[in-house]
């Protein structure tokens, strides 16, 4: 018999809508999974089990009311649950950068006062209106700044396929939870790779939508427009279902961008595509790196799958301005300089956050504006080069998932550690991250959609060894095509 957590998100959604499963059954099952698995996984910072069961009961009461009304008005054979919210009763969790009413938002920081949020943030409000049941808050790095999910307030988020390894960041707790079957899928946010990096590390499909498709609102101080919410899922279809809930309905009188939704479109074959293959990175001139064999194996696997599906691949030489690293870092860290932190609590920040906060506060507004203008020009130059192909292909990561504590130089065990024990300085930490994920942040700067697809495992077969993925970047509005390609490749 199939366990509830083994169902795809689409199958679980269908079972909840038909009444085959109740929201309480699904919620209780995943809460049991969290209680069993999270102590060694570190995916959750906060579990809100009591409130989740209350919300599940309310969803079941709504379903019962809907069913009674449907039986009274239409034949049962035609009642497909259409009047229920899109994600009726679906258990999810929010990364701990997102406000959920009545729940503490830690931002992964010991330097903040941890007070319950007075109201839902934009993302939580949107998905609650779609019918989800929130099970809690997932592990994040401090202020979502890093490509690993380790902080000073909770155990690090670990990779379900190798507990000594990181699940990536900044949506690392959410990715670990989905990969380990603690959630059917989860929303993440991506300002420099924070969906795609943990998706690749945990063997998931991770979609970063293009700028403007999903409403912003989860990041303060994002003057470059880098951050967007998107789905982490075990398949393209599951990711498409969550994307349908994230994209707002059209305003009255406007036509929807994709009638019928992304889930329907993901089931269709994409057109034959010209795909440029590139290892070029704007970080290369500042932080020279050499992709590991596993990254190149993933790229080769991706090329084989794409060509077998009928697409054309060719080498793409892309030229990037070597001023990118400084400009991106300036824009990326500007927000932390404005974070409201009491002076007496500054010492509680991690070394990386403290260093970049100090630099941001010392930087002039003119310097930030200069960096933002450069990034706009970088976007124009990059889009002009990408226009020669339908999609751009690279490895998702240049290295296998890193050991817990590797970026910070901290000894790792079952717990977490004070910042004083993090041996690596901020610049060494940051360099390691840029070498680990050199193809991710430029996509945010350009505002383009991109998807991470888990095409390779270091052990040779799915689930064996460590997962490695490819990244496909498309033009604005290509989210459906990216999902179609992932589904076409078997994911």
Phi, psi of 467 (to 5 degrees): -75, 150
Residue 73, pLDDT above cutoff 70: no
23 domain residue, yes or no: no
Please state, rounded to an integer, the average pLDDT across all residues of the chain. Answer: 93
Which residues, listed in sequence order, are joined to residue 134 by a DSSP beta bridge?
A: 92
pLDDT at 72 over 90: no
Catalytic residue among 109, 157, 170, 371: 170
54 among known catalytic residues: no
170 catalytic? Reply is yes
To 10 degrees, what angle do helices 236-246 and 9-18 make?
Answer: 60
- Which candidate in 109, 126, 134, 194 is catalytic? 194
Q: Residue 441 belongs to a domain with what CATH number?
A: 3.90.1300.10
pLDDT exceeds 90 at position 217? no
**Would residue 394 count as lying in a domain?**
yes
Residues contacting 17, CB < 8 A, separation 6+: 80, 81, 84, 88
The number of domains in the chain is 1
pLDDT tens track for 371-383: 999 999 999 999 9
Confidence of residue 79 (pLDDT cuts 50, 70, 90): very low
Contact predicate 95/170, CB 8 Å: yes
Asked if residue 209 belongs to a domain, the reply is yes
Active-site residue, from 95, 137, 208, 432:
95
Bridge partner list, 275:
313, 391
pLDDT digits (tens, 9 = 90+) for 88-110: 999 999 999 999 999 999 999 99
Examine residue 48 and state whether it is found in any structural domain, yes or no.
no
The answer to whether residue 331 is domain-embedded is: yes
Domain containing 467 equals 143-488
Answer whether residue 31 is part of any domain. Answer: no
The 10s digit of each residue's pLDDT in 143-159 is 999 999 999 999 999 99
Q: Is the pLDDT of residue 82 over 80?
A: no
pLDDT of residue 77: 41
**Is 132 a domain residue?**
no
Cross-strand pairs, 467: 457
Q: Does 416 map to a domain?
A: yes
What are the tens digits of pLDDT across the range 416-466?
656 566 767 899 999 999 999 999 999 999 999 999 999 999 999 998 999
């Amino acid at each position: 018999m199939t366990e509830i957590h083994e169902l795809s998100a689409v199958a679980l959604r269908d079972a909840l809508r038909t009444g085959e499963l109740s929201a309480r059954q699904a919620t209780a099952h995943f809460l049991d999974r969290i209680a069993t698995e999270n102590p060694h996984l570190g995916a959750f910072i906060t579990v809100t089990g009591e409130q989740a069961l209350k919300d599940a009961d309310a969803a079941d009461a709504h379903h019962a009311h809907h069913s009674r009304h449907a039986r009274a008005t239409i034949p049962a054979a035609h009642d497909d649950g259409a009047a229920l919210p899109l994600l009726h009763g679906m258990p999810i969790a929010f990364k701990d950068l997102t406000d959920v009413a009545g729940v503490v938002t830690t931002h992964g920081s010991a330097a903040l006062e941890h007070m319950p949020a007075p109201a839902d943030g934009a993302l939580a409000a949107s998905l609650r209106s779609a019918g989800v049941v929130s099970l809690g808050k997932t592990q994040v790095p401090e202020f979502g700044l890093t490509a690993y999910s380790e902080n000073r307030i909770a155990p690090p988020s670990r990779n379900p396929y190798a507990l000594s390894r990181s699940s990536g960041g900044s949506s690392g707790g959410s990715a670990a939870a989905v990969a380990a079957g603690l959630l059917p899928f989860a929303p993440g946010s991506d300002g420099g790779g924070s969906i795609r990096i943990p998706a690749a590390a945990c063997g998931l499909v991770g979609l970063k939508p293009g700028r403007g498709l999903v409403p912003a609102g989860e990041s303060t101080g994002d003057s470059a427009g880098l951050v967007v919410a998107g789905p982490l899922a075990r398949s393209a279809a599951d990711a498409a279902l969550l994307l349908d809930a994230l994209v707002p309905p059209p305003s009255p009188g406007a036509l929807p961008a994709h009638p019928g939704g992304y889930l329907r479109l993901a089931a269709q074959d994409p057109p034959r595509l010209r795909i440029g293959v590139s290892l070029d990175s704007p970080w290369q001139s500042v932080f020279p790196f050499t992709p590991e064999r596993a990254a190149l194996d993933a790229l080769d696997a991706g090329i084989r799958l794409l060509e077998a599906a009928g697409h054309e691949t060719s080498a793409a030489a892309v030229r990037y301005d070597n001023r990118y690293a400084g400009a991106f870092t300036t824009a990326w860290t500007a927000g932390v300089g404005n974070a409201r932190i009491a002076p007496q609590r500054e010492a509680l920040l991690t070394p990386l956050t403290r260093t970049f906060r100090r630099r941001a506060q010392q930087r002039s507004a003119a310097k930030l504006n200069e960096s933002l203008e450069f990034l706009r020009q970088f976007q124009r130059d990059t889009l002009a080069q990408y226009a020669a192909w339908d999609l751009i292909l690279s490895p998702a990561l240049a290295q296998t998932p890193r050991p817990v504590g590797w970026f910070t130089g901290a000894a790792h065990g079952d717990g977490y550690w004070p910042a004083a024990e993090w041996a690596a300085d901020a610049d060494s930490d940051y360099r390691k991250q840029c070498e680990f994920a050199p193809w991710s942040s430029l996509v945010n700067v350009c505002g383009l959609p991109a998807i991470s697809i888990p095409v390779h495992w270091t052990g040779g077969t799915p689930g064996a060894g460590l997962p490695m993925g490819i990244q496909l970047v498309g033009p604005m509005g290509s989210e459906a095509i990216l999902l179609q390609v992932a589904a076409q490749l078997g994911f």
